[in-house]
Amino acid sequence: MATVTIRLEDELKKDLEAVAAGRNQNVSELVRELIEDFLSPGEVDRPGTVLAPKTLTAYERQSLATLHRILARLVGDDNLEDGDKEYQLRQAKILESGFTGLYGQEFIGISPELSQADCTLVMDILDMFRMIDAGLKALEEDGETLDIDNKFMLTFDGFDFQIEREAAMADLVKYFVEEGRWVEHAKMIKETGGNSHGQRLPMYQAMLGEYNAVMEARRLNGRGFSYTPLNKEEITQIANAKTGGRQLKTSREW
């Protein structure tokens, strides 16, 4: 087995030793485990993978086990959602005994984190479609209408559940709707669950790029970030990004 030597500041070495002691490991074992995790990225992002740590500190195990023993006194025997008394005591035993191979049972249902950047991206996409919808309604009031195909292309229809990143974004959209934000998508969520059954993120990002260009043009023209409805030229510019540059056809020549 090869040996790697690294130099650390004294305080950093002490911190590393403390973490290793808390995990009942020596420093070499801890560093080797961290390097292995670093060199094997993406495992938790595979569909169906349980997001569970390989090890827990004694403090973490004791805290979680205590919570399970408290719940065992509170839940009923028919609690299917949270687990009955027997289940809670079994989870406590797993943690107290340190059965690392069974830790996955403790973390079933815990999803990988959706990054702050992706959360912001979802909100930007929803804001864009809200502006598009306002623009379409304004056009209809002025007697301008779009054919059904193009209306569909300018409608937010969720994210693809088969792509892990998009599935997490779909969950965030559903959360927002349930919290009373972007409620215009409530019907879509009810009918499809937010599943577009096809990749959407690249198209949304292309549209968002054009939308941002439209808003920047408004700013340069002295309109600032105007919330006035998008006009027909702006909607066409955004829609053409989604169609890959093919010209958008409408029921009238704009």
Is residue 47 predicted with pLDDT exceeding 50?
A: no
Is the model's pLDDT at 24 over the cut of 70? Answer: no
Residue 241 in this model has a pLDDT that exceeds 90: no
Residue-level pLDDT at 76: 73
Residues 149 and 179 both lie in one domain = yes
In a domain, 91, yes or no: yes
Q: In whole angstroms, what separates CA 102 from the centre of its chain?
A: 26
CA–CA separation, 192 vs 195, rounded Å? 6
- Alpha-helical (H) ranges within 142-246 are 148-153, 164-178, 186-192, 201-220, 232-242
Last residue of a domain, one of 112, 138, 160: 112
Note whether residue 252 is domain-resident.
no
- Say if pTM beats, i.e. exceeds, 0.85: no
Residues 56 and 127 in one domain: no
Per residue in 181-200, pLDDT tens? 999 999 999 999 999 999 99
**248 occurs within a structural domain:** no
188 in any annotated domain: yes
Average pLDDT over residues 94-116: 90
157-186 CB burial, b ≥16 within 10 A, e <16:
bbbbbebbebbbbbbbbbebbeeeebeebe
The pLDDT score that the predictor gives to residue 79 is 64
